[in-house]
Amino acid sequence: MSCQNAALELNSRSQPGPKSPERAEGVTADEDYGTRLLENQLSVGDFVKIQRAFESPEARKTICMSREEFMQRMTEVVGWGTKEEYGELYDKVDIAQDGFITWDKLTSFILLVLYEKEERAKSTVVPQWKDLEFLPVKHKETIQKVIFLKSSCRYLTISKEGLLGVWGENLKLQETLPITSDATKLKHLWVTSLVSLENVNKIAVAFTSKEICFYDLLSKEEFSCQYKLQGLKGTPICMDYWYDSLDANESILSFGDITGKVQAIAFTAALISLFERPASACEDEEATMTINWAELLSGCHKCCHILEHKLHHGDWVRQVTYNASLDAIISSTTSNTNTMVLAWREKSKKHLKMTSFNIAQGIHAFDYHSRLNLIATAGINNKVCLWNPYVVSKPVGVLWGHSASVIAVQFFAERKQLFSFSKDKVLRLWDIQHQLSIQRIACSFPKSQDFRCLFHFDEARGRLFISFNNQLALLAMKSEASKRVKSHEKAVTCVLYNSVLKQPARRENNEDKVLYDDP
């Protein structure tokens, strides 16, 4: 939480003195207790008085106060509150029991209180949704993936028959075009997955012909095939792509197949080239370059190396992802043994160390929240479980509420909430901290009992996509009215800091004068 936000929060309590003891309608006992705490009742004016009490007439000298001094001085300078209340505040600030506090210690504590309050408020906000909408897709077969291209602000959808839909950010269908390999044309094989390689402006498409094709988004002919990776031992059915935002040369394409194998290509010079072009290759840069999987395994391509494991023992790998904060590849199956596997990269970055989770009846999907360090799993046994990635023995939390198999989970990361979707087409939103369902949505989804579901939440734009075979449903969040207190009536065009007066100066739009905050 920024200092500016903290100041705005404090400005909302501009009147000095304690709040009314009457409890507002709908406010819980815990919330009521929180508002009655001294630190939640102090106004900006009160903090100015406290700051002056800590100021020393000598420059660069820090005033320290003991507990007794703080209690006595605060009751005098603030003008309200009991010594006992200021004593309790002192104890919270001096948690290290140094025997004294300073102005810096006090302000650090207040900022922490405001940050925690803001985090609690976020986690309890229940989103409001617009009416369910079905997008006018032209797919005739099952939709396999929905992705958003940040570079061009477009959505892509791809279906089993290889039809690619290109959508504007306003969700208007711009064009459709076939993405098929030569093998699919001849043998009527299917597309299984799609990922975006944002750092190199490409997409990768997996086919049941045991190949992965890489299409260039910047070529003269849009979506022209640049690389074709062939010779895979199993059909890849799920993929994931990650790149290092600090060094876009470092990236990982991971995929799982129907033989239970998890494989990953770790690129080390992605911005230069994903794969090395052989000397005998055609000079035409637009021509498709064919790469055999055996070449990658043998190390012929110095700009990448292979990571793989077979711990799923023949079970179809339903989902795979690489997570940088764990430095591990997470994969899952519907089996109850080695249901979820974390393959940790060792220091050499070229070997994996495995940890497996055995989950009763298996899972359909998972998601990981890096800040909470939690993995959520969509259980076939109707349960959503929360796991610490370092503890395989049992989950740290179980979310009960679904009456059918859970087929999808995804974190609402900013609010520390979790979506889950079940086979009976019930959508739930969970408060992770309290492990409670805070919203249940049962829309007019298609009545078909036999369907393949795709679940994708675009958090940045508040859009939830759920596919039912070749239909694509959209649940869009309503815009929320901000409750944040505004410091200016007009748009702030610049902020400056006056080192002499030691206070910020802000300039409002369409105003010639510079406004200084009151000292």
Q: What is the mean pLDDT of residues 258-263?
A: 97
Within this chain, do residues 163 and 230 fall inside the same structural domain, yes or no?
A: yes
- Domain span including residue 179: 143-358
Within this chain, do residues 246 and 152 fall inside the same structural domain, yes or no?
A: yes
Evaluate if residue 187 carries a pLDDT over 70. Answer: no
* Confidence category of residue 117, pLDDT binned at 50, 70, 90: confident
**53 is a domain residue:** yes
Q: pLDDT value at position 60?
A: 76
Q: pLDDT value at position 40?
A: 81
* Confidence category of residue 12, pLDDT binned at 50, 70, 90: very low
* Confidence category of residue 61, pLDDT binned at 50, 70, 90: confident
Q: What is the mean pLDDT of residues 166-180?
A: 93
Within this chain, do residues 113 and 209 fall inside the same structural domain, yes or no?
A: no
Residue where a domain terminates, one of 358, 380, 398: 358
Evaluate if residue 10 carries a pLDDT over 60. Answer: no
Lowest mean pLDDT across 52-66, 118-132, 222-236, 340-354 = 118-132
* Confidence category of residue 277, pLDDT binned at 50, 70, 90: confident
CA 422 to chain centre: 21
pLDDT tens string 18-44: 544 443 344 444 444 455 778 888 888
**517 is a domain residue:** no
Could you list the beta-strand ranges (E) of 68-131. none
**24 is a domain residue:** no
Within this chain, do residues 255 and 311 fall inside the same structural domain, yes or no?
A: yes
The alpha carbons of the chain give a radius of gyration, in whole angstroms, of 28
Q: What is the mean pLDDT of residues 290-307?
A: 93
Evaluate if residue 184 carries a pLDDT over 50. Answer: no
d(CA 62, CA 56): 7
Give one DSSP letter per residue of 401-466, joined into a string: --SS-EEEEEEEGGGTEEEEEETTS-EEEEETTTTEEEEEE-------SS--EEEEEEGGGTEEEE
Q: What is the mean pLDDT of residues 191-201?
A: 96
DSSP tally for the chain: helices H, then strands E:
8, 32
pLDDT tens string 405-415: 999 999 998 88
**497 is a domain residue:** no
Q: Give the CA angle between residues 198, 204, 205 to the nearest 5°.
A: 145
Evaluate if residue 310 carries a pLDDT over 60. Answer: yes
pLDDT tens string 278-293: 765 555 566 889 999 9
Within this chain, do residues 317 and 175 fall inside the same structural domain, yes or no?
A: yes
Within this chain, do residues 106 and 159 fall inside the same structural domain, yes or no?
A: no
d(CA 189, CA 235): 11
Q: How many separate domains does the chain show?
A: 3
The better pLDDT of the pair 75, 57 is held by 75
pLDDT tens string 460-480: 999 999 999 999 999 999 986
Within this chain, do residues 468 and 404 fall inside the same structural domain, yes or no?
A: yes
Within this chain, do residues 221 and 352 fall inside the same structural domain, yes or no?
A: yes
The better pLDDT of the pair 285, 269 is held by 269
Give me the CATH number covering residue 245: 2.130.10.10
Evaluate if residue 334 carries a pLDDT over 80. Answer: yes
Q: Which of 46-50, 358-362, 495-499 has the highest mean pLDDT?
A: 358-362
Nearest CA-CA partner of 253 in 315, 220, 296:
296
**Helix, strand or coil for residue 34?**
helix
**431 is a domain residue:** yes
Tokens of 384: 């959503």
Q: What is the mean pLDDT of residues 111-123?
A: 72
In the chain, % of residues over pLDDT 90: 62
Q: pLDDT value at position 298?
A: 92
Within this chain, do residues 203 and 284 fall inside the same structural domain, yes or no?
A: yes
Q: What is the mean pLDDT of residues 302-322?
A: 95
The better pLDDT of the pair 56, 308 is held by 308
Within this chain, do residues 259 and 334 fall inside the same structural domain, yes or no?
A: yes
* Burial (CB count within 10 angstroms: exposed 0-12, middle 13-18, buried 19+), residue 347: exposed
Evaluate if residue 257 carries a pLDDT over 80. Answer: yes
Across the chain, mean pLDDT equals: 85
Within this chain, do residues 135 and 160 fall inside the same structural domain, yes or no?
A: no
Q: What is the mean pLDDT of residues 236-245?
A: 97
Residue where a domain terminates, one of 298, 328, 358: 358
Residue where a domain terminates, one of 330, 358, 386: 358
pLDDT tens string 80-110: 989 999 999 999 999 888 899 999 999 898 8
| Alpha carbon distances (Å) from 25 to 36, 125, 200 | 16, 17, 54
Nearest CA-CA partner of 384 in 419, 412, 355:
419
**283 is a domain residue:** yes
pLDDT tens string 124-161: 678 899 999 999 999 999 999 999 999 899 999 999 99
Q: Which long-range contacts (CB under 8 A, 24 or more apart) does 404-408 make?
A: 405/364, 405/379, 405/380, 405/381, 406/364, 406/378, 406/379, 406/380, 406/382, 407/364, 407/365, 407/378, 407/453, 407/455, 408/364, 408/365, 408/378, 408/453, 408/455
d(CA 69, CA 100): 9
**345 is a domain residue:** yes
Q: pLDDT value at position 122?
A: 60
Give me the CATH number covering residue 109: 1.10.238
In the chain, % of residues over pLDDT 70: 82
**Helix, strand or coil for residue 344?**
strand
Lowest mean pLDDT across 50-59, 148-157, 247-256, 278-287 = 278-287
The better pLDDT of the pair 130, 117 is held by 130
* Confidence category of residue 362, pLDDT binned at 50, 70, 90: very high
The better pLDDT of the pair 499, 128 is held by 128
Within this chain, do residues 293 and 220 fall inside the same structural domain, yes or no?
A: yes
**49 is a domain residue:** yes
* Confidence category of residue 518, pLDDT binned at 50, 70, 90: very low
